[in-house]
Amino acid sequence: MSLLEVRDLSIRYDEATVVDALSFAVDAGESVGLVGESGSGKSQTALAILRLLPRQARVGGSIRFDETELLSATEQTLNRLRAERIGIVFQDPLQALNPYLRIGRQLREILVRHELANGMEADARVIHMLGRVGLPDPHRQYHAYPHQLSGGMRQRVMLASALIAEPDLLIADEPTTALDVTVQAQILELLEEVRDETALLLITHDLAVVAGYCERMLVLKKGRLVDAGATTSLFASPGHAHTRVLLDASPRIDRVDIPPPATGVSILGIEAAEVSYAEAGKKRLQAVRDVSFSLRAGETVAVVGESGSGKSSLVRAMLGLVPMQAGRAVYAGAPLEGPVESRSLTQRRDLQLVFQDPIGALNPQMRVHDIVGESLLVQEPELSSVARTARVVEALEQVGLSDQYLGRYPHQLSGGQAQRVAIARALILGPKVLICDEAVAALDGSVRQQVLALLRKVQLETGLSILFITHDLAVVRAISHRVLVMYMGRMVEFAENAALFSAPRHPYTRALIDAVPVPDPVAPSKKAPLMGEVPSVLQPPPGCVFHPRCEYVEDVCRISLPTAQDVKGVRVVCHRAQELDL
């Protein structure tokens, strides 16, 4: 008898079926990956297991946990099973955790409510679990509120809350999707380490995560189970065409055709840029410190680093969306000065931005025709409405959309379609530079692959230069010509794609590369992930800002700030760059 048995599960909302005749089982101690693209029914299945679906959901079939039928169980039975027997880790811990309660009290309440511990014993168990999931100074974090913790620390708290009652089954619903690659590696290693004999149902769209942490995998497509089996077997020989599509769309940092070096002239340059923001009191948050780089015509430069590294601040200052306190930006030989609204129409036309969240970036009250064509009203007001519509249709066709989308609103588009509309809006003016700020981070693998192919196609056809901001190094490997690595507002390495991935010169770059999971269950295990949290930018460490997390640290690193140097054609900021073999 399996620990969890799902039989013919169906979930409907009015006329829409989101899960259709789904059957699977999870044995005690087993790790199973439930994979599929957005809308395939993964999260709906997880919520159905815990009976957390909204009232309008119509659920049929059977879900048995340790011989107890959950779909017909009383609230008393469900409350006993939740947390005590079945734990869950949600994708967004900031929404899942109560913002009004301290971390310790939230975990303590689980033990007290389920009569597992009380008083000092409950406090001791909470502090022990916070330490076990890797939170620094668990006694202090016990008294912290969720908003006082970083994203990685909040996800550790979610994992602690799911495991503190020592459940038999742990459901992890996209537990690392919103995290940096280094934090993702920490959380996944931690999940494997602390779950002991707890069974794991890992819900994700990332096949690389499944490859490294699941014994079996289940593949969903539009609510139906289309493939199932041992992870190694399905990766080697998929049983369904959709599984092959997902595997082909999963970027691999170890196998990719990298673009040849770009040879165009420099079209955009940043020189010694400094960006800061006012904080409470007289302190200023120094988001970017002394960063310089260039972008050539027809080239893609990727800017990578963990959250808070200054990637977006650097680009926003270059575009005039926030002030640049020092340094300068130069485009086509002319300075980019002042706020965006004070710049020339030519500069504003030639530099276009694509945001991370396409739905949030598109006006919900405007149709696609007006969204894409709006900039023409400013830049080319002499165009007739017929000519403007023709240009909009041409831009949509350039990104693979037909004129049938002209009358749609953003909410009537899928994530991939919305991002294509956002790219069409940016391309309609024929820009020379396109800035993509995490433009594919929220997209499924196959849609992400389509958007990246689209950008490469447009670049080859038009000579477009692209500045690509991301934390996904597998994507960087596939699309970039050169890579700028940032840490705590500073450049640490700037190199050609091939040189950076084959022989990184900075320990932080090496750690980022090692943290990227590979979608191959038989791939050799990588080094232990980079540990620790990024220090506060308000109180940066002395000397090299990376030294508290660096395994190669020496005394000089703790005292002296390193300067940039050229090592075998690579610009690197590290005291030991000449001697380290990474």
Yes or no: say if 387 and 418 are a contact pair by the CB < 8 Å rule. Answer: no
Task: Give the side-chain half-sphere CA count within 13 A for 291.
Answer: 33
Task: Look up the pTM and report it.
Answer: 0.83
Strand ranges (E), 90-198: 169-173
**Separation CA 223–CA 11 (nearest Å):** 9
Could you tell me if 466 and 548 are in contact, meaning their C-beta atoms sit under 8 angstroms apart? no
Sign of CA dihedral 351, 573, 516, 29: negative
Angle between helix 507-515 and helix 181-194 axes, rounded to 10 deg: 60
**How would you write the pLDDT of the chain (582 residues) with one tens digit per residue?**
799 999 999 999 988 899 999 999 999 999 999 999 887 889 899 999 999 999 999 999 999 999 999 999 999 999 889 878 999 988 778 888 999 999 999 999 999 988 898 999 999 999 999 988 878 788 888 998 998 887 778 888 988 998 898 899 999 988 877 677 887 888 888 788 777 788 999 998 889 889 988 999 999 999 999 999 999 999 999 999 999 999 988 878 877 777 887 888 999 999 999 999 887 666 788 889 999 999 999 999 999 988 778 888 999 999 999 999 999 999 999 999 999 999 999 999 999 998 877 777 899 999 999 999 999 998 999 999 999 999 999 999 888 888 999 999 988 887 778 888 998 999 999 999 999 988 887 677 777 788 888 888 889 988 999 999 988 888 899 899 999 999 999 999 999 999 999 999 999 999 999 888 888 888 776 666 777 777 877 788 999 999 999 999 999 999 999 999 999 889 999 999 999 988
Q: Using alpha carbons only, give the angle 552, 555, 558 rounded to the nearest 5 degrees.
A: 90
Distance CA 315, CA 309 (A): 12
- Encoded tokens for 69: 């039928």
- The per-residue DSSP string of 525-562 comes to P-PPPPPSPPPPTTSPPSSSTTGGG-TT--HHHHHS--
DSSP state for residue 413 in the 8-state scheme:
S
Is-contact 203 176, C-beta < 8 A? no
